[in-house]
Amino acid sequence: MSQSTMPTPQEPAASGVSGQRPDAMTGSIERILPEATLARLTQYLRALNTLQSQGETRTSSGVLAQEAGVNPAILRKDLSLLGSYGTRGVGYMVADLAQHISTAMGLGQQWRVAIIGAGNLGRALSGYGGFQSRGFEVVALLDAAPEVIGSRVGKLAVEDIKNLKAVLEATSANIAVLSVPGAAAQELCDQVVACGVRSILSFAPIALQVPTGVNLRKVDLATELQILAYHAQNLG
Amino acid sequence: MSQSTMPTPQEPAASGVSGQRPDAMTGSIERILPEATLARLTQYLRALNTLQSQGETRTSSGVLAQEAGVNPAILRKDLSLLGSYGTRGVGYMVADLAQHISTAMGLGQQWRVAIIGAGNLGRALSGYGGFQSRGFEVVALLDAAPEVIGSRVGKLAVEDIKNLKAVLEATSANIAVLSVPGAAAQELCDQVVACGVRSILSFAPIALQVPTGVNLRKVDLATELQILAYHAQNLG
DNA sequence: GGCTGTGAATCTTTTCACAGCC
DNA sequence: GGCTGTGAAAAGATTCACAGCC
């Protein structure tokens, strides 16, 4: 991730977060969830949605784990990090559990995503249905190329990257996605950070440097294929 | 990793491989590289390319690690799994090391990629420059929608998914990329496997089941954003 | 009887720290 | 002196296996 990956996965596989919080002083009993657990929790949520849409009201670690593609023991361990929301001998209530996971993952609020780079990938991402349905709204799409600026992509008009700060402020974006060439990525990343965005998902094929307190994840498509190629060579 | 994934991935975060080889009987001294190492090796390769294009002929674990965004100790450990290609007190020869890593990762051969699903994402992937430059050639783009079939995307015409088997055979594709909606993914995955493809990269937001011996990696864009959202909530 | 929650055991990955060599 | 290569230690993640509860 993985990448993540990741993972980072992992990679997975290809992914990572910089900026640890130096031990909460907040009153609430906040739990720091391991990265690997976070990745799986989203799969559980999806599996729960599927079950719910099939009319299931109750489930078990075995069924859920099967659906999410993991082993039941680790599923139970993951869930136990959030608290005890199951019933021994019975299982979990689908709706309850989904609610608890959502809350723990911060999906209560609406996240506003700005996509930097309106190339093929940026445009594909801005139309990706999987985002809208999970509380992520794409609020801006920016690019530097004059021939692209002003063109429409879905409901959005591509904005000039020169107006980055104004656009980020006007839209209150709190997540940025970098879908730009490697050569431009670090410079744009710095700008985005300077505008106060502290969560960045990068598709650029380079290792970006970000200050502590900013969290960065990477998805590296060529890396994914290379790992596949390695396995293909060795298993094939 | 996860790259995101990945991790991953990882991957990475969001990524994984199914199908372990049950201990080689091949004569060659094949090394099984850990998943996490594989993800990093590709970063080292990239860093080496950068250095090479800057005219550097020699480097050190410190410099390379910095460039790749990892810690020097693990870089040296990763490289030591491939053999001893450095010189104590001196460092590594850029070109040599790049060559060794490429070989170890199976990048000697040309990989032929079929993209299943010619939606926004599929089209973006088929035009992604990062593939061509790393030994991956997109040889086919398939879809089920009549209004898309036959249209041109770059040099490729979109083929009818009904001809999957014929197309995969004609192009000798050895890697498939699934960029289709979740609902269609398992069915298409099965078909691709039935056609003999044993390496699959999936962007579908579900857990796919594949038989042993097939290796599957996933990149899950919504998961990446959700992990960011979690950190944003807790660090911000 | 069946399924959760969890300590203990195992396995994997990362980091440390230093011997070995140029 | 400097940098690699690598055992040993530490940290982290997964799996086992079973006590506890319905």
Domain range for residue B79? Answer: 35-104
CATH code, domain with A65: 1.10.10.10
- Read out DSSP for B171-221? HT--EEEE-S-HHHHHHHHHHHHHTT--EEEE-SSS-----TT-EEEE--H
Q: Quick one: pLDDT at residue B233?
A: 87
Provide the pLDDT for residue B31: 61
Q: Same domain, yes or no, for B192 and B218?
A: yes
pLDDT value for A233:
86
The helix or strand, by DSSP H or E, that contains position B130, with its residue range, turns out to be helix B129-132
Burial, B150: exposed, middle or buried (Cβ in 10 Å; 0-12, 13-18, 19+)? exposed
A235 contacts B21? CB cut-off 8 A: yes
Q: What average pLDDT does this structure show over B67-91?
A: 96
When pLDDT is averaged across residues B105-112 and rounded to a whole number, the result is 89
Note whether A79 and A116 are same-domain residues: no
Domain boundary among the residues B74, B104, B134 is at B104
With contacts defined as CB-CB under 8 Å, which chain B residues touch A129? 181
Spanning CA of A159 to C1' of D14, the rounded length in angstroms is 46
Q: Is it the case that residue B132 has pLDDT exceeding 50?
A: yes
Is the pLDDT at A27 greater than 50? The verdict is no
The pLDDT of residue B22 is above 70: no
Do A147 and A173 share a domain, yes or no? yes
Q: Which residue minimizes Cα–C1' distance to C6?
A: A77
Q: What is the pLDDT of residue B160?
A: 98
Q: Do B39 and A123 make contact, defined as CB atoms within 8 angstroms?
A: no
**First-last CA distance in chain A:** 23
Has residue A27 been placed in a domain?
Answer: no
pLDDT band for position A13 (cuts 50, 70, 90): very low
The domain tally of chain A equals: 2
Confidence check: pLDDT of B37 > 70: yes
Of the candidates A44, A74, A104, which is a domain's last residue? A104
Rounded distance, CA A202 to CA A14, Å?
11
In a domain, B2, yes or no: no
Say yes or no: B100 and B165 in one domain: no
A126-148 tens-digit pLDDT: 998 888 888 899 999 999 999 99
A90-109 confidence digits (pLDDT tens): 999 999 999 999 999 988 88
Pairwise CA distance, residues A170 & A37, whole Å: 34
- Shared domain for A115 and A100, answered yes or no, is no
Asked if B205 and B230 touch (Cβ cutoff 8 Å), the reply is no
Residue nearest to nucleotide D7 (CA to C1'): B77
B3 within domain boundaries: no
Inside any domain, residue B22: no
* Band of pLDDT at residue B1, cut at 50, 70 and 90: very low
pLDDT tens by residue, B141-160: 999 999 999 999 999 999 99
The better pLDDT of the pair A4, A36 is held by A36
CATH of the domain at B231: 3.40.50.720
Q: Considering only A5-14, A24-33, A145-154, which range has the smallest mean pLDDT?
A: A5-14
The half-sphere exposure of A158 on its side-chain side, counting CA atoms within 13 A, is 21
Q: Are residues B115 and B228 in the same domain?
A: yes
Rg over alpha carbons for chain B, rounded to the nearest Å, is 20
Residue of B nearest to A119 (CA): B124
d(CA A103, CA A119): 34
Ramachandran region, residue B110 (left: φ > 0; alpha: ψ -120 to 50; beta: rest): beta
- Greater confidence, A112 or A135? A112
User: Looking at residue A143, what DSSP letter applies?
Assistant: E
Same domain for B47 and B149, yes or no, is no
Token pair, residue A82, equals: 């959030």
| A67-81, A178-192, B19-33, B193-207: range with lowest mean pLDDT | B19-33
Is B4 a member of any domain? Answer: no
CA–CA separation, A184 and A203 (whole Å): 12
Same domain, A188 and A218: yes
Task: Point out the residue nearest to D15 (C-alpha to C1').
Answer: A73
CA distance A133 to B62: 44
Q: Is B72 exposed, middle or buried (0-12, 13-18, 19+ CB in 10 A)?
A: middle
Q: What span, in angstroms and rounded, lies between the C-alpha atoms of B171 and A210?
A: 42
pLDDT computed for residue A132 by the predictor: 83
For strand D, give the nucleotides within 7 A of a protein CB.
1-7, 12-17, 19-22
Per the domain annotation, does B196 fall within a domain? yes
pLDDT-derived band at A181 (thresholds 50, 70, 90) equals very high
Q: What is the mean pLDDT of residues B71-90?
A: 96
Residue B21 lies in a domain: no
3-state secondary structure of B109: coil
Looking at per-residue pLDDT, the higher value among A84 and A22 belongs to: A84
Task: Supply the mean pLDDT for chain A.
Answer: 87
Torsion angle, CA of B80/B83/B84/B85, rounded to 10 degrees? -110
The answer to whether residues A115 and A181 belong to one domain is yes
Residue where a domain stops, chosen among B54, B89, B104:
B104
A81 touches chain B (CB under 8 A): no
Which chain A residues in 166-225 lie under 8 Å from chain B, judged by CB atoms?
A: 174-175, 181, 198-201, 205-209, 213, 215, 217-225
- Positive or negative, the Cα torsion across B129, B75, A189, A133? positive
* Tokens at B17, concatenated: 């491989």
Using CA coordinates, name the residue in chain A closest to B103. Answer: A230
**Could you tell me if residue A21 is inside a domain?**
no
Report if CB B92 to strand D is under 7 Å. Answer: yes
Question: Is pLDDT above 80 for B5?
Answer: no
Contact B137, B112 (CB under 8 A): yes
CB of residue A88 closer than 7 A to nucleic acid strand D? yes
Going through B9-94 in order, the beta strands assigned E by DSSP cover 58-59, 86-87, 91-93
Instruction: Report the distance from CA of residue B36 to the C1' of nucleotide D11 in Å, as an integer.
Output: 16
Local structure of B128: helix, strand or coil = coil
Average pLDDT over residues A200-219: 94
Residue A131 sits in the same domain as residue A198 = yes
Q: Are residues A163 and A82 in the same domain?
A: no
Q: State whether A115 and A52 are in the same domain.
A: no
Between CA B188 and CA A156 the distance in angstroms is: 32
d(Cα B23, Cα B85) in Å, to the nearest integer?
Answer: 26
